[in-house]
Amino acid sequence: MEATQIRYESFKVEQPLLIITALLYLIAFVILLTGARDRFCLGVTWIAILAHLFVLIARSVSAGHPPFTNLYETMLLLSFLVALRLVFWRRQIDSRHRWLILSMILAMVGAAILLPSSLKVARPLMPALNSFWMYIHVPAYFFGYMALILAFIYALIFLFQGKNESSSEMVSLLKKMNNEVKIAFLFLNIGLVTGAIWAYISWGNYWTWDPKEVWALINILTLAVFFHLVKPKATKKSLIVILAFLTVIFTYLGVSFLLSGIHSYA
Amino acid sequence: MFGLDHFYNSMLNVVLWVALCIAMLMSIFLKGMRSLAQKSLHFLLVMIILLVFYDKAVNQRFTIPIREGQEVNFANFIKNPDPVYQIPLRLLKFEIQMHPGSTMPAAFNSWLLVNRTDMTKLAVNKPVPVGRYMLYQSAYKQDHMLEVISGGDTSITPFNSKITLNRQEIFLHDYNDSAQTLHIEIGGAQYQVPMGVASIVGGQKMQIIPLGPKYTSIIEVADVTGVNILALFALMYLVALAYNFWWKQPK
């Protein structure tokens, strides 16, 4: 079979497989809400992740590159990373809060399905993107986003339920939030540094005040406030995490649609 | 956007970064931080910001456009050039590969003859060093070229350009496709000159011959002094960050 034929076949299976993936996540979500056995939910989530993996593979084959280069592809990647986190570090996440994470995954997969087809078209890579650094820069950011999604969920739980900061349940929740923020902060920094090195190798300039770069820096500076609070009250910390999450949403979606720059393709 | 382009190059932006550096240095040296790991992390950040200042203020950046077959002198693009940079650069060939069934280039590169002796391939993501400068394959453009012959003098040039032949400035404007003539301007007078045919223009015999398309390679050049140290500090900063978070918990 020729390469173009393989690409076309992959493209044909990608969308139906994505709908099946979304349905499987939905089933896992319903099982979780009905309070059925945890094992059932886990089993269905695993099958959904497997289907999700096949979607990513089909996309990579049809596009001819890893699913890192546009909104549709990165939405699939981000939801996949969050799903992996949900099953591999299951014990870290309280069973009462797993529905929140599953609903985030469902929202992202649903949004990927509903995106207009013009945003789903696989476009060939421009030469500057064809680099080893893409395999570090993009996954680092999305690993950071994944951790920040979890921190955001913990922050929301704390703000809605956290009457007593010193209760053992809230202490454990805040510890988890702190850990996720640290992971997010480190990976956002790795993304920024590797992006600068890559830009330097491609264009001879590591920083151009491009809107995406500026907002990536704003994400980091917002999260840096988290570590520099003089009296680190949990409510303040949670609010900063929510603010950082909103700046990340703007960096990810707002900058791509509202501002133009060297990252416009993303 | 929102007038921020001015802010990025403004003194206010510089002042804010300097203030951040001073705040970090004060917290390092005035017992704001106790842990050596935290001090190192913030010191590295200060060094990174200072190196960025140095690079932006001192290191030169410029663009060299070279047409296929053209030779340029590298020193002509440098402010206050060192004599060692009197290096001729000639673009021997520009290669471009397209993605199948698309107008998007998959790769493009320039074959450069440096100093009339060393042939080197300059490709995207594969910069080439020239002394303390680095050449980057940035972009390209394609121009349809013309050969203009007048009074024994010849010039090869793209459309919409200005040339000097026999000490006269000639502006080459648009090509009229239906009449197959080129609109040119000499000393304020306008002429329509037929392509490929010798004709009298402004009292002089002139012939304009279309030569077909030629590529111009756009090469970005940057002085890279200190940039390797900057990259090293940035990587050290990432290690220090991980160390601060997970190996050495501040008390």
Residues A212, A256 within the same domain: yes
Interface check A204 vs B, CB under 8 A: yes
Q: Which residue, of A106, A125, A144, is where some domain finishes?
A: A125
A171 near A179, Cβ under 8 Å? Answer: no
Q: Please give the model's pTM, rounded to 2 decimal places.
A: 0.85
Domain residues for A55?
A: 1-125
Residues A43, A79 within the same domain: yes
Domain residues for B83?
A: 61-143+216-223
Residues A154, A40 within the same domain: no
Residues A136, A266 within the same domain: yes
Decide if pLDDT at A124 tops 90.
no
Confidence (pLDDT) at B173 = 83
Residues B69, B40 within the same domain: no
Residues A159, A118 within the same domain: no
* Counted domains in chain A: 2
Higher pLDDT, A16 or B202: A16
Q: Give the B window 10-69 contacts with A, CB below 8 Å.
A: 52, 61
What residue of A is the nearest CA neighbor of B62? Answer: A204
Decide if pLDDT at A233 tops 90.
no
What are the Cα distances from residue B167, in Å, to B150, B153, B164, B170, B247? Answer: 11, 10, 6, 9, 74
3-state helix, strand, coil in chain B (%, to 5): 30, 45, 25
Confidence (pLDDT) at B235 = 94
Residue B94 dihedral angles phi and psi, to the nearest 5°: -115, 125
The answer to whether the CB atoms of A203 and B52 lie below 8 A apart is no
Interface check A203 vs B, CB under 8 A: yes
Rounded (5°) CA angle B5-B10-B15: 135
Residues B136, B199 within the same domain: no
CA gap A238, A154 in Å, rounded:
8
Confidence grade of residue B32 (pLDDT, cut at 50, 70, 90): confident
B39 near A194, Cβ under 8 Å? Answer: no
To the nearest whole angstrom, how far is the Cα of B83 from the nearest Cα of chain A?
Answer: 23
Helix (H) and strand (E) counts in chain B = 4, 14
The answer to whether the CB atoms of A200 and B1 lie below 8 A apart is no
A263 near A255, Cβ under 8 Å? Answer: yes
Residues B101, B68 within the same domain: yes
Residues B82, B100 within the same domain: yes
Decide if pLDDT at A176 tops 60.
yes
Residues B75, B89 within the same domain: yes
End-to-end Cα spacing for chain B: 44
Interface test with A, best of B245, B246, B249 (most A CBs within 10 A): B245
A190 vs B contacts (CB less than 8 Å): 238
Burial (0-12, 13-18, 19+ Cβ within 10 Å), B199: middle
Residues B104, B171 within the same domain: no
Residues B103, B163 within the same domain: no
Interface test with B, best of A186, A192, A212, A218 (most B CBs within 10 A): A186
Interface test with A, best of B125, B134, B223, B235 (most A CBs within 10 A): B125
Confidence (pLDDT) at A217 = 95
Residues A116, A169 within the same domain: no
Residues A107, A155 within the same domain: no
Residues A17, A101 within the same domain: yes
Residues A100, A142 within the same domain: no
Residues A85, A133 within the same domain: no
B138 near A126, Cβ under 8 Å? Answer: no
Residues A188, A107 within the same domain: no
CA gap B251, B4 in Å, rounded:
41
- Nearest CB to B1; choose among A124, A201, A259: A259
**Maximal CA-CA distance, chain A:** 64
3-state helix, strand, coil in chain A (%, to 5): 80, 0, 20
For the CA atoms of A219, A221, A225, A226, the dihedral, rounded to the nearest 10 degrees, stands at 40
Q: Which residues pair with B182 in a beta bridge?
A: B175, B193
In which element (H, E) is residue A89 found? none
pLDDT averaged over every residue in chain B:
87
Q: What is the pLDDT of residues A243-263, one digit of tens each?
A: 999 999 999 988 877 776 666
Q: Which residue, of A101, A125, A149, is where some domain finishes?
A: A125
Q: What is the pLDDT of residues B42-80, one digit of tens each?
A: 999 999 999 988 888 888 999 999 999 889 999 999 998
Residues B120, B174 within the same domain: no
Decide if pLDDT at B251 tops 70.
no
* Counted domains in chain B: 3
Higher pLDDT, B166 or A79: A79
B234 vs A contacts (CB less than 8 Å): 193, 196-197
Residue B155 corresponds to which tokens in the numbers above?
């010039």
Interface check B133 vs A, CB under 8 A: no
To the nearest whole angstrom, how far is the Cα of B72 from the nearest Cα of chain A?
Answer: 20
Q: Which of A62-66, A82-86, A129-133, B159-163 has the highest mean pLDDT?
A: A82-86
The answer to whether the CB atoms of A189 and B221 lie below 8 A apart is no
